[in-house]
């Protein structure tokens, strides 16, 4: 790391001290991700409210574009470098306020929820059938280990549902201009595992409003229970992983293609193509980011040879940003 970057990080740390916003130097990213892989972040910041998150983003912007910054929700879809991250990782898990019966005139008469970016998607789905509520449309998300912000960015989905079906608006912060804005459902430009945020990496999701119709609580709970049962029976939840590795191709399913190529159980170091579901790469113990990348590259080469296309990785692979 350069002397200049160390100086910038020191100034940022001092500013965070002044604002009493929690932060940690050399924070081990292997503890912050579902893969349990990754070296230390030079500085990890943990804002506790949306206002603190905006304050941190403002500070990072003021420090200049030479300071690498990334947002980390619940760490369920990322692979950090073994060398770590020589910049600022902003952990949003504590920015998790949820407000039921919020206001959005365009979405009436559905039940409305506002959720901060760091709110647990799975917990939010479960909350739709607690305290007398019976809000339908989010049962697909029960068991998805990510945050609301990450789910909006990638239009997360499962079992026939996706965020595009329930999100009616989103607040964001533009790290280039330092301004906040709001996007309607149409402006979010949702498509398969894609949103407008995919094309604007400088935009940070602050929170989203979801429109969920009233339903039958017992039926909603039964759907969530069925989805949970399917996850436990088909997915290698007993091992650390980052979920599905590749985006679904135009035809067929990646897990079936990987299995058909005889790659179930393919192993490099501690990383292995799951023998339970070939769409997953698992950490069997001591896996490094290099191990996982090697498995990914081998799968891509074999799929290209056998099927004529290179599968697109769904996991975010984060470079170390060392300089």
Q: Which residues are catalytic?
A: 193, 244, 314
Residues near 249 by beta carbon (within 8 Å), at least 6 away in sequence: 257, 307, 309, 311
Give the whole-angstrom CA distance, residue 119 versus residue 117: 6
Give the whole-angstrom CA distance, residue 85 versus residue 321: 6
Burial of 14 (0-12, 13-18, 19+ CB in 10 A): exposed
Q: 173 - beta bridge partners?
A: 180, 204
Q: Which residue, among 277, 274, 300, 302, has the nearest Cα to 287 in the 3D structure?
A: 274
Give the whole-angstrom CA distance, residue 83 versus residue 98: 35
Q: Give the number of C-alpha atoms closer than 13 A to the C-alpha of residue 207, restricted to the C-beta side.
A: 19
Neighbours of 199 (CB within 10 A): 9
Give the whole-angstrom CA distance, residue 303 versus residue 95: 40
Residues near 135 by beta carbon (within 8 Å), at least 6 away in sequence: 111, 113, 128, 129, 212, 213, 214, 215, 220
Give the whole-angstrom CA distance, residue 39 versus residue 148: 25
Neighbours of 49 (CB within 10 A): 15
């Amino acid at each position: 790391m350069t002397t200049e970057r160390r100086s910038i990080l020191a100034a940022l740390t001092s500013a965070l001290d002044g604002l009493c916003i929690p932060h940690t130097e050399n924070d081990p990213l292997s503890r912050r991700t579902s893969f349990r892989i990754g070296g230390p972040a030079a500085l990890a910041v943990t804002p506790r409210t949306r206002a603190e998150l905006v304050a941190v983003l403002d500070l990072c912007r003021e420090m200049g574009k030479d300071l690498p910054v990334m947002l980390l929700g619940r760490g369920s879809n990322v692979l950090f470098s073994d060398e770590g991250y020589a910049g600022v990782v902003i952990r949003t898990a504590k920015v998790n306020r949820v407000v039921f019966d919020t206001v959005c005139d365009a979405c009436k008469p559905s039940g409305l929820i506002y959720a901060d970016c760091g709110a647990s998607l799975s917990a939010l789905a479960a909350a739709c059938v607690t305290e007398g509520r019976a809000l339908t449309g989010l049962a697909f998300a029960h068991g998805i280990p990510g945050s609301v912000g990450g789910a909006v960015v990638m239009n997360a989905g499962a079992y026939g549902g996706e965020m595009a079906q329930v999100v009616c608006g989103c607040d964001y912060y533009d790290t280039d201009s330092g301004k906040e804005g709001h996007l309607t459902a149409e402006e979010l430009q949702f498509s398969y595992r894609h949103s407008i945020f995919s094309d604007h990496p400088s935009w940070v999701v602050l929170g989203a409003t979801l429109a969920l119709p009233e339903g039958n609580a017992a039926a909603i709970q039964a759907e969530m229970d069925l989805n949970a049962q399917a996850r436990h029976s088909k997915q290698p939840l007993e091992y650390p992983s980052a979920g599905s590795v590749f985006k679904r191709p135009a035809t067929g399913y990646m897990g079936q293609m990987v299995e058909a190529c005889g790659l179930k159980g393919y192993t490099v170091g501690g990383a292995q193509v799951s023998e339970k579901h070939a769409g997953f790469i698992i950490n069997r113990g001591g896996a490094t980011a290099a191990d996982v990348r090697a498995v990914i590259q081998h799968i891509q080469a074999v799929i290209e040879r056998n099927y004529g296309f290179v599968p697109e990785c769904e996991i975010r692979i984060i470079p170390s940003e060392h300089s």
